[in-house]
Amino acid sequence: MKLLIATILMIACLAGCQAPQNDNPCEEELVVTDEQMDRLGITNKEYLSAASKRALQWPELTNEWFGEFKVYDLKGDLAYEEGVVRRDPSAIIQVDGKYFVWYSKSVGPTDGFGGDIENDKVFPWDRCDIWYATSDDGWTWKEEGMAVGRGEKGAYDDRSVFTTEIMEHEGTYYLTYQTIQSPYNVRTKNQIGLAWADSPHGPWTKSEEPILSPADNGVWKGTEQNRFLVEKKGDFDSHKVHDPCIIPYQGKFYLYYKGEQMGEEITFGGRQIRHGVAIADNPKGPYVKSKYNPISNSGHEICVWPYKGGIGSLITTDGPEKNTIQLSPDGINFEIVAVIPGAPHAIGLNRTLDTDEPFNVFKWGLTHQYKTYDYQYIRRFEGKRKTTHVAKGVVAGKKGSDED
């Protein structure tokens, strides 16, 4: 009975809190300064809408992380080539005066599911190998050849190796990437592999086993090849672990990745995609997933960088917090600092840039673009901060300027 009475009182209080009355005892009183009133354009501090209350609790408003992007075609071997898929560029590093990038490469159109699964190509990133290219100026690229190929029949990576990232540490180069084992159907569980070499040109030694696998706590419903039918969804990464990126951080190695959940839903932010992190003492592992996973509510491709002793993250494409830049002081707990419209997909950051200067990490890098669903190609992006908005023909800061 006491529990019932307490519940009724709590519901009554919550219901009362919905009324826009400043004398509501359930509502936490906000102190509003005249300066906040002026900057946020609030009409009356005695009558605050839910939107105004949220605005008053935002962090300090700055434009350090707000910007815009332009994308350009590349020259040389990374220009668009009919019949060839080049996508998901890695970060760019520079060795002996040359820029290096690694990427997924396959040939031929996409067949999709429902046909000969053993021989068809179900996605553009199916039946891929990892190739690499070099450039003197970041515009004209020379394709150097295959870096990491698919494994032998029966291996965990025999179907496709793709969506790779590069890390250099103490003279050794590490490529981490997604793997798929045949047959490729809609319930196939993707994993993450690793390869290392003493030179960016290879040769590369591959890990004998995956360094990261999906959580094993979801339960499929029935045997039909339908990834949305589940008895139990499991962790955020119970179906797939994707888009790996290793960052040396605080004396350890942080493997950031995208998780896909069994029975993935469509929510008010689109696809139900979140990011996680696994941590190791050695670049080759073993990697242990953080107890705090997931570390994002949204996202798609991983795009992370060191920033002033912490980690920055660009969240795009999926979820209620998509198209935001988020910063973390400890590599795990991220907070939104900006909304970024129009950020390129599958960004390959330029690791030669100074990342402690806000937005400088986006000065230039690589991305991919769909020419058609079957064929994608790699392009260059350039980003810059946007700090003002003025009408056409008006010089910002001049007397009489008319902002749009």
Tokens of 372: 């058609």
pLDDT at position 397 = 58
CATH number of the domain encompassing residue 221:
2.115.10.20
Q: Are residues 374 and 228 in the same domain?
A: yes
Q: Are residues 187 and 85 in the same domain?
A: yes
Q: Are residues 345 and 205 in the same domain?
A: yes
The overall average pLDDT reported for the chain is 90
Q: What is the mean pLDDT of residues 98-108?
A: 98
Alpha helices in 210-254 (DSSP H): none
pLDDT, one tens digit per residue, over 239-275 is 999 999 999 999 999 999 999 999 999 999 999 999 9
Q: Are residues 45 and 75 in the same domain?
A: no
Q: Are residues 76 and 117 in the same domain?
A: yes
Give yes or no for a cis peptide into 286 (omega within 30° of 0): yes
Q: Is residue 177 part of a domain?
A: yes
Q: Are residues 51 and 101 in the same domain?
A: no
Following CA atoms 193, 343, 277, 214 in sequence, which dihedral angle do they give, to the nearest 10 degrees? -50
Q: Are residues 163 and 17 in the same domain?
A: no
DSSP bridge partners of 93: 100
pLDDT, one tens digit per residue, over 45-65 is 999 999 999 999 888 778 899
Q: pTM (2 decimals)? A: 0.90
Q: Is residue 395 part of a domain?
A: no
In whole angstroms, what is the distance from residue 53 CA to residue 31 CA? 10
Q: Are residues 256 and 127 in the same domain?
A: yes
* C-beta of residue 250 within 8 angstroms of C-beta of residue 295: no
For CA atoms 322, 324, 328, 333, give the dihedral sign: negative
Q: Are residues 123 and 17 in the same domain?
A: no
Q: Fill in the amino acid letter for 174.
A: Y
> Residue 398 class from Cβ within 10 Å (0-12 exposed, 13-18 middle, 19+ buried)?
exposed
pLDDT, one tens digit per residue, over 311-325 is 999 999 999 999 999
What b/e string do you get for 37-73 counting C-beta neighbours within 10 Å, with b at 16 or more? eeeeebeebeebeeebeebbeeeeeeeebbbebeeee
Q: Which strands sit side by side in the sheet containing 288-289, from one edge to the other?
A: 240-249, 252-260, 273-280, 288-289
Closest by CA to 49, choosing from 14, 15, 29, 20, is 20
pLDDT, one tens digit per residue, over 346-365 is 999 999 999 999 999 999 99
Of 51-60, 93-102, 123-132, 202-211, the one with minimum mean pLDDT is 51-60
* C-beta of residue 321 within 8 angstroms of C-beta of residue 269: yes
Q: Is residue 400 part of a domain?
A: no
Tell me which DSSP letter residue 154 carries: T
∠ CA 258-261-193 to the nearest 5 degrees? 45
Tell me which DSSP letter residue 28 carries: P
Judged by DSSP in three states, 260 sits in strand
In whole angstroms, what is the distance from residue 259 CA to residue 243 CA? 9
Q: Are residues 376 and 232 in the same domain?
A: yes
Q: Is residue 184 part of a domain?
A: yes
Q: What is the mean pLDDT of residues 21-36?
A: 67
Closest by CA to 316, choosing from 326, 307, 308, 327, is 326
Count of the separate structural domains present in the chain: 2
User: Residue 35 is part of which domain span?
Assistant: 2-56
Q: Is residue 397 part of a domain?
A: no
pLDDT at position 330 = 97
Closest by CA to 143, choosing from 105, 172, 92, is 105
Q: Is residue 152 part of a domain?
A: yes
Closest by CA to 305, choosing from 368, 378, 235, 383, is 383
Q: Are residues 111 and 254 in the same domain?
A: yes
φ and ψ of 3, to 5 deg: -65, -40
Q: Are residues 8 and 124 in the same domain?
A: no
Q: Is residue 323 part of a domain?
A: yes
If you compute the radius of gyration of the chain from its CA atoms, what whole number of angstroms results? 24
Confidence of residue 24 (pLDDT cuts 50, 70, 90): very low
Q: Is residue 62 part of a domain?
A: no
Place of tokens 């698919």: 150
Residues 6+ apart with CB under 8 A from 129: 104, 105, 106, 146, 148, 149, 150, 161
* C-beta of residue 384 within 8 angstroms of C-beta of residue 378: no
Tokens of 69: 């992007």
In whole angstroms, what is the distance from residue 390 CA to residue 402 CA? 6
